[in-house]
């Protein structure tokens, strides 16, 4: 049986023979030799975050992909993120440690189904969350991330009607913030959408001195009682500047690594549904490992390869987002 890199034997051999520190040294050597940049999302395992050149949210990672001088982008995140980097910088080689690192939210909206849905609303502007396929992006007017969604929607003239896809939770939050009516696609993230209000209330009762901070992919009742709502970068920044000492964090567990590094004196409690579940671990983000990262840099695969016409079409709404974000 092959793994997604096609080097299962070598992966097993590396796991058995080498210490993590040796593999990390090899990754550093490969990065230099190949003029590669390692971009990592906050939901990656701590070892990957620690070796990355840049760790960030979806917007920050897209901006890095647009500005890097590296020849090769090693994307430690999920497929739609690496695909977005390829669309932004098509002349660069973009690889990711595990091609199976998908996203339930991106998968919840196929471009063919969306094309039929969109045909019912011909006069609407399509705002698409970055957690989407290149094909869906190519059917969109503008892309947004969790950190700029409100700004993007506010940039749309008031007389235009809006479809927001694929995340109905983020869409509802943006609608509430902007007061712009919207039509939603019925998609959600399997990690954030399972978080239950009652469990979070229990945590709040148990930790009365803690503030609740939440990612906007969570359901509306959770966002309504949160002290702060924002993208992963915004949540991290909030914990650094806010005066509280304790936080209940309603998002994926990976973000705790940077929160603890940046504020070692503070306490962070992940908002799981029960104390034993690992429902806050994104199963796709966690497919990437240090060993797979090494193998992918050595063989320069799996590689994101996209049709040039698709790149051209998907790039327009992404560049529009980057342009609006920069203003």
Binding residues (CB under 6 A) for ligand 13P: these are: 42, 57-58, 131, 145-146, 189, 215, 217, 231-232
- Give 44 or 291: the residue with its C-beta nearer to ligand 13P: 44
Which partner, ligand 13P, ligand SF4, none, binds residue 145 by CB below 5 to 8 Å per kind?
ligand 13P
In order, the DSSP letters of 186-243 are -B--TTTTT--HHHHHHHHHHTTTPEEEE-TTS-HHHHHH-SEE--HHHHHHHHHHS-
Bridge partner residues of 247 (DSSP): 211, 268
Quick one: tokens of 134? 């290149």
> What minimum distance in Å lies between the beta carbon of 238 and ligand 13P?
13
- Residue closer to ligand 13P by CB (options 129, 294) is 129
Nearer to ligand 13P, 78 or 295 (CB): 78
Pick one of ligand SF4, ligand 13P, none as the site partner of residue 218 (Cβ within 5 to 8 A by kind): none
Cα→Cα distances 92→102, 272, 275, 318, 326, Å? 21, 39, 43, 17, 23
User: What is the nearest approach in angstroms of ligand SF4 to the Cβ of residue 104?
Assistant: 4
Distance CA 284, CA 262 (A): 25
Nearer to ligand 13P, 89 or 231 (CB): 231
**Closest among 160, 162, 158 to 144, alpha carbons compared:** 162
| Residue number with CB closer to ligand SF4 (80 or 247) | 80
**Cα dihedral 65, 70, 74, 79 sign:** positive
Report in angstroms how near the CB of residue 251 gets to ligand SF4 at its nearest. Answer: 8
- Which stretches of the chain bind ligand SF4, using CB under 6 A? 78, 103-105, 131, 189-191, 217, 252, 282, 284-285
Which one, 5 or 145, has the nearer CB to ligand 13P? Answer: 145
- Answer with the entry of ligand 13P, ligand SF4, none that 104 interacts with (C-beta below 5 to 8 A by kind): ligand SF4
Partner interacting with residue 270 (select from ligand SF4, ligand 13P, none; CB below 5-8 Å by kind): none
Residue 164 contacts which entry, ligand 13P, ligand SF4, none (Cβ below 5-8 A, type-dependent): none
Closest CA to 85 of 37, 29, 14, 34: 37
Which listed option, ligand SF4, ligand 13P, none, makes contact with residue 58 (CB within 5 to 8 Å by class)?
ligand 13P
CB 224 to ligand SF4: min, Å: 21
On whether the CB atoms of residues 192 and 169 are closer than 8 A, the answer is yes
Question: Helix axis angle, 79-88 relative to 58-67, nearest 10°?
Answer: 30
Question: Any idea what DSSP says for residue 167?
Answer: B
232 contact, one of ligand 13P, ligand SF4, none, CB 5-8 Å limit per kind: ligand 13P
User: What does the alpha-carbon distance between residue 270 and residue 273 come to, in Å, rounded to a whole number?
Assistant: 9
């Amino acid at each position: 049986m092959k793994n997604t890199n096609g080097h299962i034997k070598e992966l097993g051999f590396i796991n058995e023979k080498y210490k993590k520190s040796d593999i990390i040294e090899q990754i550093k050597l490969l990065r230099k030799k190949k003029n590669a940049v390692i971009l990592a999302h906050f939901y990656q395992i701590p070892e990957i975050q620690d070796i990355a050149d840049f760790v960030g949210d979806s917007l920050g990672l897209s901006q890095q992909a647009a500005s890097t001088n590296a020849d090769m982008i090693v994307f430690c995140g999920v497929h739609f993120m690496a695909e977005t980097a390829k669309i932004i910088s098509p002349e660069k080689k973009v690889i990711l440690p595990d091609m199976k690192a998908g996203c339930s939210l991106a998968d919840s909206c196929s471009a063919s189904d969306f094309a039929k849905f969109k045909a019912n609303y011909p006069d609407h502007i399509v705002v698409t969350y970055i957690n989407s396929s290149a094909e869906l992006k190519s059917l969109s007017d503008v892309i947004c991330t969790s950190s700029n969604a409100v700004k993007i929607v506010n940039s749309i003239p008031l007389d235009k009607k809006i479809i927001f896809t694929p995340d109905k939770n983020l869409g509802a939050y943006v609608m509430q913030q902007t007061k712009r009516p919207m039509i939603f696609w019925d998609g959600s993230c399997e990690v954030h959408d399972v978080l239950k209000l009652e469990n979070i209330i229990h945590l709040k009762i148990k930790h009365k001195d803690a503030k609740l901070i939440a990612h906007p992919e969570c359901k509306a009742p959770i966002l309504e009682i949160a002290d702060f709502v924002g993208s992963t970068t915004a949540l991290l920044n909030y914990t650094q500047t806010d005066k509280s000492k304790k936080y209940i964090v309603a998002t994926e567990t990976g973000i705790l690594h940077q929160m603890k590094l940046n504020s070692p004196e503070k306490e962070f409690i992940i908002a799981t549904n029960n104390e034993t579940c690992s429902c806050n671990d994104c199963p796709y983000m966690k497919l990437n490992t240090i060993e797979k990262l090494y193998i992918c840099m050595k063989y320069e695969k799996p590689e994101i390869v996209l049709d040039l016409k698709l790149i051209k079409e998907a790039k327009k709404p992404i560049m529009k987002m980057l342009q609006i974000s920069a203003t």
